[in-house]
Structure formats: C-alpha cells, structure tokens
Structure 1
Amino acid sequence: MIKKTIMAAIAVSVFAGGIMTSKVSAEPGKDLQIIPIIVNGQKVRFPDTEPYMNTDGRTMVPVRFVSEMLGAEVTWENSTQTAIIQYEGKTIRMPIGSKTVSVDGEDRELDTAAEKYDGRTMVPLRFVSEVLGSGVEWDGAAHSVKVTDAKYQTKVDSGEVKLDPWGREYSKTQDNNWIRLTDLEGVGFYKSFSSKSKSRVFIEWLGSAAHVRTGNVLASKIRSYYAVQLNVDYRTINEDDFIKAFMASASGNITKNELTKSQFENIIRKYVKWVKENKVIAKGYADPELSAVYETNRTTWIPTHFKFMIISANDSNQAFLDSWDVSFWSDPVKLKTGVWYDGYSNVRTDSNVASALWGEDHGLSDTENMFIKDSYFYNVEVK
C-alpha cells in the first residue's frame, strides 16, 4: 500500500534518532473547531455535545455543566421548555427559542436565543456567566473562552493560584518531566503518557513568548485540519476540500516536495473514495495540550485531546484517515458506532527548515496521529 510505503520512508529518519517506544457538524452552520471553555482555571470536559459558535457569532454551551462549575443549580421545566438557573438567591429563566429571558422576574433581551441540540439545552455563554457574576474573556489567538468568578480571581491576584499562559491552573505537585495542570491530573493524563518525556525542559528552553506565539499557530493548524478529518459525511465529502485542509496544516516536508505531496494527495483521494463506498458519517474535535509539548529528534510532539463519534459506517474500524490502512506507526483499531470516544494521543509536527525545533513553519508530519502505538488512551476501550 502506498500509505504504508510513505510512512516507512518518513519513519526511517525519525527512528534513526531513536524515538519513543462536508460534514456532520456540531450544529449545521456552526464552528467545527472545538471551543475550549476554561472555568476558574479548569478546562470543562463535556460528556457529549461541545460548545459551538452559532450563526449570530455567539458561543453556545450546554447550560448545566458550565453553570454548575460556577456553583449554580440548573433545572429544566418541561411544560414551558425553559432552563432555570439558580445562583446565590438569583433566578434566571431561559425559554428555548426566545431572546427574552427573566432575571429575578425582570425581562432582558438577548442578541441570541437558547436552543436545544442533541438533547442538551444550549445557552449563550456570556450572558449566563455575567449574570452569575463571572468575567468572560475570548482569547482569539488560542480559540478559547475563559470564565472566572470574583472569588477565583482574588486567588489568582494574590498568587495563591498560578495559571499557565492559557488560563489553566498549575498543579501544586510538579515534577521534572511535565509542567503539570490540575485538570490534566484529574483525567489521568500524566499517568498514561510516558514519564520519560522532557516536556518541561523543552518548554522552559523555548521561553514563554515563543511557546505561546508558536503554540497558538500550531494548535490552530491541528484544530482546523481535524475539524475536517473527524467530521466526515459520505454524502457531502469533497476530496479537493479534504486535500486543501490537510496541506494547509501539513509540514513543508510534505507541501514543498512535489513527489511527497502528490503521494499524500493520492492517499486522501483513496480514503475519500473509501468513505463514500462505506457510507461513513462521523463527528469530532481535536484540542491540543500546549503545556505538554515536547521534542525528540527534530519531531515536535503535541499531545492532543481527541473526542469523536462514528455515527454510521459499514466498517467502523477504518472510519477516519488516522485509522484507515494504517502503517506500522499505528495500531489497527476496533471502534464502536454511536458512542463518544474521549482521550488523548500525540500529533507529530516537523518542519523543512534546517535545525528547526519549534516554529510557525511547523506542520503535521503525516496522516496518522490518533492511534500511535503506546501513545494514546480513550475512555472507551479501543482494541
């Protein structure tokens, strides 16, 4: 297979140095890139439906999870199709489909209405957060939203709590391998990834400014490519759009070598044909962990949070390009339909710039990242 041949060629240079061991959208017309929501230093993990940007340009979130992280109680009034949020004696009533909401009996007009999607009540984040006494900040470079209440901000201002450059809380328990975050400790990230990683050394060597600037650029490439890769629909998939999305995020080692570029284009065309023949429909998101990046032998590894569901497929084991006709890099996997997989794997990036270890010129090294041998874990067993 041509895919296996290309992966073998790429691997020769990496292993020589010795490395470790469109579209079904979240909502039609919405932003397919995951929008991380960070509440009081903790990245929110949604069990199913993720936040999205609606057609009014507003960030919509499942009301229960964000509100409860801020200490509110959320109930649902089925007879009136209304979400009711209670917080420190304050009551907010948000009817589905209406821009008029009630705060302690006083009507207010919103610029977008609450809506139902995938069985979840989706509400505009800014309104709910500000009514609950929290500041809301959109970080465009990082494509994320930070929500912070007054009590937590006081802890940050006093130095009791320290945050990473993207607003997430540093753990009070650190080590020589990782710059540890409390929310990643909570999901078993550090236990599941190699303790031999030199992430801390690499990030400290980069310096804060370069780490943040380049990290945001590379994260954008990963999010935008996987918005296409994970949200496939055999009825609407377009091979030219798929190729364009990959090349826009790929390394110069691929895009600036005509032979290699044409080989990857051929892989994608064959995969798109396979998607159509096997009637694949899927949805998902990718969210890079920039405080955990590391480097080995000119390859920069970006641990990434992957969340995906295969809605339907004749052969669900090869629904994604990452799991289709895999090379020796990756495990052949057995995946179920109709369930959310939520976990982490490494995305490999490199550059055709000589001696580059970390730069905006970096891009994806290949099309296999989600199931790299000994380098991934998901909440549902992958065999």
Structure 2
Amino acid sequence: MKRRLLSLLIVTLFGSIFSLTASAATASQPPTFVSVVMDGKKIWFPDAQAFIDENERTLVPVRFVAQSLGAQVGWESKTQAVPITRDAQSITLKINENVVQVDGKAVTLDTKAILSGGRTFVPLRFVSEVLGATVKWDAPTGTVFITTSENDSAQIDQWGRMIRATKLPKNASDYPYILADVPNEMYEMGYPHSYPKDSRVANVLYSTIPEFNKRNVDIWMKRLKTFGALWLNVDYNTIDDAWAKAVFATKVQSSDAELKYIRRYVEWVKANKVQIEGYLDPEPSMIYKDGFGDNFVRSKFRIKFVSYKESKDLLYDEWFPKKQVFQKGIWYEGYADIAISTNVGGDWGTTLKVSPGASLFYNQIIRKAVSE
C-alpha cells in the first residue's frame, strides 16, 4: 500500500514538472521528444514518438510500451477499443475516452486515449503503474525511466542504460562501454573523414578530456535534440522566419551568412510544398573527434518525406543527395554522425553547438524502415 501511494505521489509530482516545461508545438517551438528507458534499455519507437498533450501529460504509443512490459495488445475496430492483457491483468482502453476498465473496474484518467498516425497513444504513467512498474523522470535528459524489476548484477551507465559484455562489436575498444540496446551495426559504422594525428575515439575522449563529463554532454545532447526536432519536422503551411531564427540559434554562430541561407531554405520549403516528419536521437557515449575541429555524435534517426513537388533540397543540408529520390509517405531510418563544434577557447565544455555544416548525409547509413 505504501509503495502504491508513493507511486501515485510520483505521478502527481511529475505531472507538475511537465506542466512547467510543456507547451504547444509551433514551427519555431518544436515538440520535446521524450525518451523512454525500460529496465536499462531504450525503447526505440518506430515512428510516432512520445509527446506531451494539452493536459500536460506524457502520451506514448501503447503497443510498444505495453509489449516491452510483457503485455499483449489488441485492437477492436468496431468499438475503437484497445484490450491489453498481462498474466491475469486486463485493461480496456477506448479511443477518445478517459474511462478505462481495469480488471473489470472503471478508472478515470486525466486525459483521453487518442488515435494519431495510425497509432494508439495512452498516458505513459497510467499504463506503467497498472502493469506494476515504477516511473522516474530525469529532467536534464528528458527521459522517463520505467523499472519493472531490480537487477543488482546489471552494469548501468551514467544515463541509466544497461551495459553488455557479450557479442561485442569488432571495435569495442573505441568506446567507453557497449550498450545492451544498441546493435553492433551502429558501433561498427565507419567514422567520418578525419585527420588521423588529432582524431580521437569516444573511449579516449571520455578518459582524457575533462570537458567530457555528464553535465556538459547533457547540454550538448539537449541542443542536438532541439536542432533535430526543428530540422526534421518541416511544414510549408507553418514554417516562418521564427523557425529560421530558432534553427540558427542551435548552431555555432560564426557568421550571420548562415541565417541568410536558412531563410532561403524557408522560401524553398514554401515554394516546393515540403512536409517532413522525423526525429534525431543522439547517443552520448558515441562521440568521435575528427581532428579538424568537429566532434561527431552518432545518432539514430527516422524521417518521412510527406509532401514535396521536387525531390531536391528537402532538408536544410548541403550534403542532401542530388540523385537519390525519397518516396513520399515512407519512413526511412538509420544512423548519422552529426557534427558539433565551438568557436570558444579555454573552458569550452558548455559551448558546443551544432556545426554549420552538420549533415544527415555526410556519414550515414540510411534505408527504408521495416514497418511494425
């Protein structure tokens, strides 16, 4: 009973925290994507991401969270109902309703289950608590941690991620550790062009350079996520000069010339009727210094080109492929090394921002996503 009361207090507390940070997304103020880590492993949502609704509650795609918790998720199209079962427990949610049946008893939520982009979204904390998990919110990284069981033997990194010691990538020594939820393909991807004498792999950076500490890296990752949310979510109906200034603000500002180029891209988006959806998820333990002044953060991404008239310059990216044609309405996924740098000397730890030449295509693996 005490644990249950504590869990309810946690829900209330973090609802208050979200109310301080949540606001309606606009072209220049993108949605804040919420990362979800369960028992030390990140849930990689295939398309729609967790978000904060108008009631200041975090909503997640129910299928992937519930399945990660060992539950079975169904769909009843006639009644618009989503049955969830786990062992002897049963939950039935209905779209656009906030009354849920839990083991035959009615429970009223503070927000409704909704259908968006073909996915059912539900309040993360309710599903977690009903299925026996505990929830913790980490504000600096924008991460929800869900714990279903204690594992005292597991090694956890400083971002709450589980470390593995088996089936390691060929270049495991390049990294401070290898994560359980990251495939070897991401680790073994080739590095961007570099100057060998001054280049440094992640293991060396974290073990020898004081600026590579959690406080600084959290700042860098937050800037990258903000940049990615703007960069990969574009709509010709809403894009404006505020968007251009917001993108410019995430970058190292050595010259106002780049703002001029960003504004040209805004005009092209309008003329070419460009609409893009996507997300960028940088991995803090995978940073590479190229020796030319940039640090590259390996990032997982998904992107969908919803609308365009001409398949060119769809992103603000000088390396955007000139010959590859991206199909409309198809999710693409992969990994990319996104450059961050600074023009500040001395104590530069907090100053790294997105480099002017940062690209999704400079050093990447990209392919059509597998539908789920």
Per the normalisation by structure 1, the TM-score is 0.80
Q: Return the offset for 1:340.
A: 0.8
Instruction: Tell me if structure 2 keeps the 8 A contact 1:97–1:113.
Output: yes
Partner of 2:203: 200
Counterparts of 1:163-178 in structure 2, within 5 Å, are 163-173=156-166, 175-178=172-175
Give 3-state SS (helix, strand or coil) of 1:189's partner. helix
Q: Residues 369 and 279 from structure 1, CA distance in 2 versus in 1: closer, same or farther, beyond 3 angstroms? A: same
Cα offsets for 1:35-84 (capped at 9, x unmatched): 21112222112222221111111111111111111111111222321111
Instruction: Pick closer, same or farther for the CA change 1:276–1:287 going to 2, 3 Å.
Output: same
Pair 1:315-2:313 in alignment: no
- Aligned partner of 1:378 in structure 2 is 366
Corresponding residue pairs, total: 333
Q: C-alpha separation between the residues in 2 aligned to 1:73 and 1:27?
A: 35
2:302 alignment partner AA: K
Tell me whether 1:211 sits opposite 2:213 in the alignment: yes
In structure 2, distance between residues paired with 1:269 and 1:30: 17
Is this contact kept in 1: 2:98–2:108, CA < 8 A?
yes
- Cα distance change, pair 149–233 in 1 and its aligned pair in 2 (3 A): same
1:289 maps onto 2:287 in alignment: no
Relative to structure 1, the CA distance from residue 42 to residue 106 in structure 2 (aligned partners, 3 Å threshold; closer, same or farther) is same
Matches within 5 A, 1:117-196: 117-150=116-149, 153=150, 155=151, 158=152, 160-173=153-166, 175-178=172-175, 179-185=177-183, 188-194=185-191
CA distance in 1, matches of 2:279, 2:273: 20
Output the CA distance in 2 between the equivalents of 1:379 and 1:308. 10
User: Counterpart amino acid of 1:184?
Assistant: V
Rounded Cα–Cα distance in structure 2 between residues aligned with 1:116 and 1:89: 26
1:272 and 2:272 matched: no
The more displaced of 174-183 and 211-220 is 174-183
Q: CA deviation at 1:316?
A: 2.5
Secondary structure at the aligned position of 1:317 is classed as coil
Q: Residues 1-383 of structure 1: matches in 2 within 5 Å?
A: 32-150=31-149, 153=150, 155=151, 158=152, 160-173=153-166, 175-178=172-175, 179-185=177-183, 188-194=185-191, 198-206=201-209, 211-238=213-240, 240-251=241-252, 254=253, 257=254, 260-261=255-256, 263-297=257-291, 298-322=293-317, 326=318, 331-332=321-322, 333-354=324-345, 359-372=349-362, 375-380=363-368
- Root-mean-square deviation (CA), in Å? 2.5
**C-alpha deviation, 1:111, in angstroms:** 0.9
1:277 positional shift: 1.2
Determine which structure has the larger helix proportion and give its number.
Answer: 1
Tell me by how many angstroms 1:331 deviates.
4.9
Answer yes or no: is the 8 Å Cα contact 2:321–2:361 preserved in 1: yes
**TM-score, with length taken from structure 2:** 0.83
Contact 1:99 1:111 in 2 (8 A): yes
Deviations 1:100-151 (A, max 9, x none): 111111111111111111111111111001111111111111012111102x
Q: In 2, distance between residues paired with 1:345 and 1:355?
A: 29
Work out the CA distance in 1 between the residues paired with 2:70 and 2:38. 11
**Identity across aligned pairs (percent)?**
32
Q: Is the 8 A contact 1:164 1:291 kept in 2?
A: no
* Equivalent residue, structure 2, for 1:4: none
Check conservation: 1:243, 1:268, Cα contact below 8 A: yes
Task: Look up the equivalent residue of 2:202 and give its one-letter code.
Answer: S
Counterpart contact for 2:244–2:266, Cα < 8 Å: no
Cα deviation per residue 1:286-326 (whole Å; 9 max; x = unaligned)?
1111011132323221112221111010122321102xxx2
More relative contact order, 1 or 2 (CA 8 Å, 6+ apart): 1
In structure 1, C-alpha distance between the alignment counterparts of 2:300 and 2:207, rounded to whole Å: 22
Letter matched to residue 78 of structure 2: S
